[in-house]
Structure 1
Amino acid sequence: MATRGQWRMRFPPAADAPRRARGLLRRELTAAGLDEFDELAETVVLLASELCDNAVLHAGTEFEIELEAAPDVVTVAVSDHGAGPLEQHLTQPRQRFGRAAEHGRGLLLVQRMATTWGTRHDADGTHTVWFTLHRDAPERRPAPAAPEPAVGGSAPTWPQPDQVRWLLHVPNRVGDRLDTTTLVAELARRLREILTPEGVDGVAGVEGVAVEVDHGDGTGLRQLTRDGRDPDTQVSPDRVLDVALPLTAPQRGRLRIAIGPGDRPAPSLTEIAELAAHRIALAVESDWLRGADLRRRSWMTYLADTSQLLGQSLDVELTVTVIPQIVVPRLGAWCAVHLLGPARELTLAALTHADEATIPELRAALDPAPGGALPDALRAQLAKLTDAGAATTATTEPAWVSGPTDGIAVPLVADGRPIGVLSVGRPADRPHAPEDVVLVTDVARRSALAIDNAQRTARHVATSQALQQALLPRALPTAEGVEFAAEYLPASIGSDVGGDFYDVITLAPGHWLAAIGDVCGKGAAAAARTGLVRDVLRVLARDGRPLTSALELLNDVMTEAHDPSQFCTLAAAEVRRRATGGLLVDLVLAGHERPVLVRGRHGAAELVGTYGTALGLVNRVQLTHTRLHLAPGDALLAYTDGVTERRDADEFYGADRLLEAVAAIGGTSAAQLVGGVRASVEAFSRAERRDDIALLAVAATERGAQSPSRSPSVSR
């Protein structure tokens, strides 16, 4: 039949009371049939130790332990007369470091590891925390042999193997449920107990054990845990034994043991401390490796997200604005991007701060413009990083800066040339760790590529727009009895110059050539072919050739290139002013869309002209001449296929919808006709334009009415 033991004892609020309580608790558990290597017994001692530490550190009153133990179930209650966790939180601020930072850890461990647990507050102010543990598995290790008592005045054999075994061994199922700080605290408690032998005269006991660790993150050595007196502040330095923790770089640490008064230290003190240091280092190293793996995965995800965000836009301003938002607060308290201008002068392009209220002050401190508050030392560092020779491997390392706050500055280098600097201020609670520097450097590299791509795209777009403008007439002719209006809308997607164009030139007083066309393809090749078509057509028309003959010769010029992929559709019209009023229009279509003729008197709209062969495909083309008479108020609208092929999902704008729009606009001016059709096409779909749109209108006006001076419109 299993034995059941009951035990109760009261302890004063002394620093060594938890250690004494642990020893007595293990003795009673052994008496109840649980040896000290039993997993159930080790868990009970661990949880009870945490609650005793809480009673001494935070309640500051005497405390009482009650134990009811059997081989398979143990109940422990720890009572004190201090305030509970809620009262502690309300009456005094939490300390960030030191033993006070462990307040509440005991309850967390009890909640995590106990089978059942609870708290009780009695009317007399007694505060009790109790827990019950049941054995998960009945298997137990054999009890170790008891140490042999000392004979006479001889010193006992110490430490015994079982004591060392107990010092180093924490069951896996218990250790896996403890965080590193708790596990190291338990090892420190065990070390202190072993190094304080009882009943041995003249042997100096251990009054305190502390573990300090530097994780290589720039914060330096920090106390991970302490049991008993603080070796740093409460013990004379000559009574402190320091043992280095065998940690892998960049970590380092030490085990500090405060030796109490006595004639001689405990036997094998240094050897036992070194064994404990190895066991503690193993726990710290394992936790650091697990954390490093998690951090590595987190950073890989972070960098992947960074690349995705930077790749979503080719707009320079938007790309630069995103970079500080990516960096802060993950890698620092503030971030600024300086870019080199055309004259290699630095400009502040973007910045942000974790505290938005300080952004104006930060902007003033980092602005390199004349009159700005940028410190001279920082200005010199930024200039050095963006020097023309700073693209070499040796000079692209981050530079440490000290203003406006400590941080690092990394050159932005793309294609072997510096384009700016990324500056990142240190986090609020620590300096930059080496890992942070590596990540900032990686973000700077990705940012430089994104900025360079956006800048290249911006230059390409500017060149394309300048080239497109050069292919369009600077101004449309103005004359009595006629009005010309045009509009060009480039495709929203892509930056290459399109092949759509229009042109209106004066051949003689009262005689004009109006043309609109679409050259196959985009980019420089299409632009060159567009310029060829426009210029050849101008020369042939001014030479007085009939329109059909001029287009046939233009076809000959285009086919000489032997490139059937560079063909062109064209609608050309000779416009003459009639003496009796109105206009005479001779229209020829070379594979182009049929124009719309709108009669101003009744608003009727119809497609006119006869389809012909596109230019540049075959040697001989079929072209048909169509003559139209435009009375005052009538208008002729020519357009490219970007109008009729405008899509909304699976539906096209189409010729029928175009006729309805023109008829609704009626006999208005040429400018109103072009503007109305453009508005109708744009309203048809909110999707981005995938093809260029060109519109050209010729309207007959009353004699004596001077058409307004008008420049062609290019919209984006």
Structure 2
Amino acid sequence: MPVALGLPPWSDGTATSSDVLGRRVDTTRVSSTAFEGTPHAPAHARKFVRQVLGEWRLSHLAEDAVLLTSELVTNAVVHAGTGVELTCRLDLDAVPARLEIEVDDHHPARTIPQTPGESPGGLPTSGRGLALAALLADAWGVTYTRTAKRVWVRMELGEGGDPREAALAAVPAGPLEALHVGVVIADRDGVVESWNSEAERLLGRPAEQAVGRSLKELVAWRGHGPYALSLADTLGLGRWRGEVRMRHLDGRLIPVYVSHLLSQGHAGERRAIWMVVARDHRYVLTPPPAPMRREAGRRIKELLDRDMPFAELLDTIAQVVQVSSGGDAAYVLLAAEDGSRFGVAAGAGATAGLVGVLATGVLGADRRTPALVDDLLAGDVELAEQLRARSLACAPLLVTGEVIGFLVVTAAQPGRFDDELTVSLQHIADQVAVPLQRERLAEQDRAHRGRLSFLAEAGELLAGVHDEELIAALTAQLVVPKIARWAAIYLTDLTGMTRLAHVWHSEEGHNAELRKSLPAIPRSALSEVSWPVGPETVLAFPLLTQGRSHGALVIGRAEPTLPLEVADLLADLCRLVALNLHTAMLYARQATRSRVLQRSLLPMRVAPMPGLESAVVYEPAEEGADVGGDFYDLFTVGDHWCFALGDVCGSGPEAAGVTGLARHAVRLLAKENYTVADILDRLNQALLEEGDDDRFLSLLCGELTPLPQGGALCTVASAGHPPPLLLRADGRVESVATPQLLLGIESGARFYVERFEMAPEDVLLCVTDGVTERRDGDKLLDDGDGLARLLSGCGGLSAHAVAERVRLAVETFAPEPSQDDVALLVIKASAVLRQQVR
């Protein structure tokens, strides 16, 4: 950006010969700057002229002056193609007082026609700038030198502003006891010739240590932007002012405000005169910023005609209002969807990191006129705390009589604003309300579509996730970096304990540091936690559903305020996350209960069988289930062992209920010394008494009684169950039971048992139909006695090895997973049974 080098008059606006050197000083104000000959030069020039005329209280001339400047600089860039110097000169002693604007280029050979626009065809394109000069300015001209060409325009001051009044209005900002006005005089080379006592008090450096030294040694000069002037170039200007840092005697750099004048002595020597004050007293040498004028409203209205993102437009309006008003902060508030609440859409200055809505007091939907509050603490403590301010001025944005928002200016001190500010603020509001509403409606439509898309993406990502930790991780990654620089998820359990579950930073290397900076277990409510102070604004959003808190989403944003639309989006996201956390909690609770109940349907452990080796494989078909429609049991009764393997028609909780009834009934009846046949009779009757015609049960039930010579006598009955297979030691495979009627079909059914002996090393294989009917297309595993052939190859294997070989055969029989429960029981007799039985 170009550096403005303007200087106001001395504190009374009429510097005279007794002010500095005992001779008359020209009271002409001059502000100069320089630009490269690029297409950006006209824009920089317009901004410079607006700033200078605003400071000189000549805003009523700004529109014409800016137009003239733009044309002259454009002509210089287009026709000369060199660097451009722009000078604004205000002569208060002239009669009448006048403003001159000069544009210098460095191509003097390019002359300018003295009668622009006089051509048969009308106004030529190349001469419109000077035609405008002839129309808008009181005088204009061109001056040529050997190295440069200067085009100037003169405008006489009319009504609407008096720069002398601005000078008289300047007051010191710091304590008067610390006010020191140093005067430093340097020659054309910047060597100090004079250093008064006030400069010594201000900078701690006596005159004898300053005189004779170059200003380059005493000033830490720092130019700004691509067009900044060096210290030597600046000393050659007629006048300038600005903030610099000068070196104290102890080496410190003191921020000071300097007003510079280039004076010519009796012998023609040129000297630079500096008046220096502490930065806090700069208004002794320059007027404070002018109050907001109607030109600020027109300037903002120009912004509305540009094609820029809506958020950037709002930010620019807030910045212009804040700078123009001189307030500590400025906000643009816009109405929420219901029209009765107003949220922060943009902020500038020392904003308070506002979130959501402000619906209290002066910022209500019924306000149709501007308002001024000298001290918010006296009437609205809540709003004062939200804004961190005492003074407030606001103006409603009205469209067809409806308040769509507010322009708000605040300050930390009470009584900072006056009625003139509210008038100016309302003028701006009137200028921007309708275009702003039009742009906002278009933006709301885009935002609504984006909001729905974002929430749909979030819903799809979180759908079916029943793990709280995973939900927390996904939520943080949804927010970062789209909405926030970092995010943290706190989760609250059923006992009310809150913990930090997950953090995510846009720069992953900062995750560990971020986790350390946040409280792992907050000792107070999340709404009352003091979050760490850093470069980001920290905001917390509760995760609430059905009146219960599941924690909070905490985010850090670089922006000081959170627009209402983003706040609403985060509120919707938090409701969605809270609902998923609630579902996950219910799912976890139900899953825990289900696991406890399901485990009660299976034996805690398989009974040890001296002289017999057993192995079990049990795999429910339903994903996540511990128990299905198949069941098994193996237990001791007196001097023998009982086993059972059953299959309930169907699957799921209903089948599991029948499973529990059957397993516990078999065990209870066996403990009461019922025979195998009686057990089947009683269980058949119990199922029929349940009254469920669709629940059938196949059951293989047996007893193993040890034999003195080794092995065991097996008594078995099969109620509609696949018959068990016996692998003899010599490799033969036999079917050792005949299937009878299913349980739960006929009340008068009677069941019988079959007996056989198991010799040492014999293997008994009992399976459910999940094994025999394992399907691959139209082919079943047991087709052609497939299971018997598989068992025949298991000679010499342990019970566990046989069970694993059969399980693997079932799993690999088809590429698709099994759709039925799988249960199998393997019992192998050993030769040591006789020695272990008492």
On whether the aligned pair clears a TM of 0.5, the verdict is: yes
SS of 1:485 mapped into structure 2: strand
Structure 1 residue 466, shift from structure 2 partner: 2.0
The answer (yes or no) to whether the contact 1:167–1:276 under 8 Å persists in 2 is no
Aligned equivalent of 2:645, options 507, 511, 516: 516
The structure with higher relative contact order (CA 8 Å, sep 6+) is: 1
Aligned equivalent of 1:331, options 474, 483, 487: 483
Alpha-carbon separation, structure 2, partners of 1:92 and 1:697 = 89
SS of 1:483 mapped into structure 2: strand
Aligned equivalent of 1:446, options 566, 573, 576: 576
Cα displacement string for residues 619-672 of structure 1 (whole angstroms, at most 9, x for unaligned residues): 233646444443322212222333445567x57763256555544444311122
- Report % sequence identity: 29
Label 1:703 to 1:62 Cα distance change in 2 as closer, same or farther (>3 A): same
Q: Which residue of 2 aligns with 1:473?
A: 603
Question: CA-atom RMSD, angstroms?
Answer: 5.3
Q: Which amino acid aligns with 1:252?
A: L
Q: Which residue of 2 aligns with 1:488?
A: 618
Q: Which residue of 2 aligns with 1:380?
A: 524
Question: How many equivalent pairs are there?
Answer: 511
TM-score, reference length from structure 2: 0.51
Structure 1 residue 298, shift from structure 2 partner: 0.8
Q: Which amino acid aligns with 2:642?
A: L
Q: Which residue of 1 aligns with 2:705?
A: 576
Alpha-carbon separation, structure 2, partners of 1:543 and 1:597 = 29
Give 5+ residue unaligned stretches, structure 2. Answer: 1-40, 51-62, 88-102, 130-147, 149-222, 228-297, 318-329, 334-342, 350-392, 410-421
Q: Which residue of 2 aligns with 1:409?
A: 540
Structure 1 residue 699, shift from structure 2 partner: 1.2
Structure 1 residue 487, shift from structure 2 partner: 2.9
Cα displacement string for residues 99-127 of structure 1 (whole angstroms, at most 9, x for unaligned residues): xxxxxxxxxxxxxxxxxxxxxxxxxxxxx
The question of 1:290 aligning with 2:442 is answered yes
Alpha-carbon separation, structure 2, partners of 1:273 and 1:313 = 52
Structure 1 residue 555, shift from structure 2 partner: 0.4
Alpha-carbon separation, structure 2, partners of 1:76 and 1:673 = 104
The answer (yes or no) to whether the contact 2:310–2:440 under 8 Å persists in 1 is no
Alpha-carbon separation, structure 2, partners of 1:168 and 1:322 = 41
The answer (yes or no) to whether the contact 1:221–1:253 under 8 Å persists in 2 is no
The question of 1:634 aligning with 2:726 is answered no
Alignment of 1:695-706 (within 5 A): 695-703=824-832
The answer (yes or no) to whether the contact 2:724–2:735 under 8 Å persists in 1 is yes
Aligned equivalent of 2:586, options 450, 453, 456: 456
TM-score, reference length from structure 1: 0.58
Aligned equivalent of 1:501, options 631, 655, 671: 631
Label 1:595 to 1:74 Cα distance change in 2 as closer, same or farther (>3 A): farther
The answer (yes or no) to whether the contact 1:335–1:422 under 8 Å persists in 2 is no
The answer (yes or no) to whether the contact 1:477–1:504 under 8 Å persists in 2 is yes
SS of 1:673 mapped into structure 2: helix
Label 1:24 to 1:529 Cα distance change in 2 as closer, same or farther (>3 A): closer
The question of 1:553 aligning with 2:553 is answered no
Label 1:285 to 1:340 Cα distance change in 2 as closer, same or farther (>3 A): closer
Alignment of 1:619-658 (within 5 A): 619-621=747-749, 623=751, 625-644=753-772, 650=777, 654-656=781-783, 658=787
Structure 1 residue 486, shift from structure 2 partner: 1.4
Q: Which amino acid aligns with 1:594?
A: P
Alpha-carbon separation, structure 1, partners of 2:520 and 2:626 = 36
Alpha-carbon separation, structure 1, partners of 2:470 and 2:578 = 14
The answer (yes or no) to whether the contact 1:332–1:424 under 8 Å persists in 2 is no
Q: Which residue of 2 aligns with 1:252?
A: 407
The answer (yes or no) to whether the contact 2:397–2:406 under 8 Å persists in 1 is no
Label 1:508 to 1:249 Cα distance change in 2 as closer, same or farther (>3 A): same
Aligned equivalent of 2:667, options 534, 538, 548: 538
SS of 1:569 mapped into structure 2: strand
Structure 1 residue 471, shift from structure 2 partner: 2.1
Aligned equivalent of 1:618, options 730, 746, 753: 746
The answer (yes or no) to whether the contact 2:710–2:834 under 8 Å persists in 1 is no
Structure 1 residue 684, shift from structure 2 partner: 4.9
Cα displacement string for residues 530-587 of structure 1 (whole angstroms, at most 9, x for unaligned residues): 2322232233334444422321221012101211123222111222333333333233
SS of 1:314 mapped into structure 2: coil
Structure 1 residue 503, shift from structure 2 partner: 0.8
Structure 1 residue 286, shift from structure 2 partner: 2.5
Cα displacement string for residues 6-47 of structure 1 (whole angstroms, at most 9, x for unaligned residues): xxxx999785599779669999xxxxxxxxxxxxxxxx99x9
Alpha-carbon separation, structure 1, partners of 2:488 and 2:554 = 7
Alpha-carbon separation, structure 2, partners of 1:594 and 1:505 = 21
Alpha-carbon separation, structure 2, partners of 1:495 and 1:293 = 47
Q: Which residue of 2 aligns with 1:151?
A: none
Aligned equivalent of 1:681, options 800, 810, 816: 810
Label 1:214 to 1:277 Cα distance change in 2 as closer, same or farther (>3 A): closer
The answer (yes or no) to whether the contact 2:715–2:756 under 8 Å persists in 1 is yes
SS of 1:362 mapped into structure 2: helix
Alpha-carbon separation, structure 1, partners of 2:704 and 2:642 = 6
Label 1:320 to 1:518 Cα distance change in 2 as closer, same or farther (>3 A): farther
Q: Which residue of 1 aligns with 2:332?
A: 214
The question of 1:355 aligning with 2:507 is answered yes
SS of 2:747 mapped into structure 1: coil
Q: Which amino acid aligns with 1:598?
A: L
Label 1:689 to 1:460 Cα distance change in 2 as closer, same or farther (>3 A): farther
The answer (yes or no) to whether the contact 1:55–1:63 under 8 Å persists in 2 is no
Give 5+ residue unaligned stretches, structure 1. Answer: 1-9, 28-43, 82-90, 96-165, 188-211, 223-241, 255-269, 370-377, 383-397, 708-716
Alpha-carbon separation, structure 1, partners of 2:579 and 2:311 = 43
The answer (yes or no) to whether the contact 1:599–1:605 under 8 Å persists in 2 is yes
SS of 1:454 mapped into structure 2: helix
Q: Which amino acid aligns with 1:316?
A: E
Q: Which amino acid aligns with 1:451?
A: L
Label 1:414 to 1:698 Cα distance change in 2 as closer, same or farther (>3 A): farther
Q: Which amino acid aligns with 1:359?
A: N
SS of 1:329 mapped into structure 2: coil
The answer (yes or no) to whether the contact 2:331–2:345 under 8 Å persists in 1 is no
Q: Which residue of 1 aligns with 2:457?
A: 305
The answer (yes or no) to whether the contact 2:84–2:104 under 8 Å persists in 1 is no
The answer (yes or no) to whether the contact 1:588–1:609 under 8 Å persists in 2 is yes
Q: Which residue of 2 aligns with 1:364?
A: 516
Alpha-carbon separation, structure 1, partners of 2:751 and 2:425 = 103
Q: Which residue of 2 aligns with 1:609?
A: 737
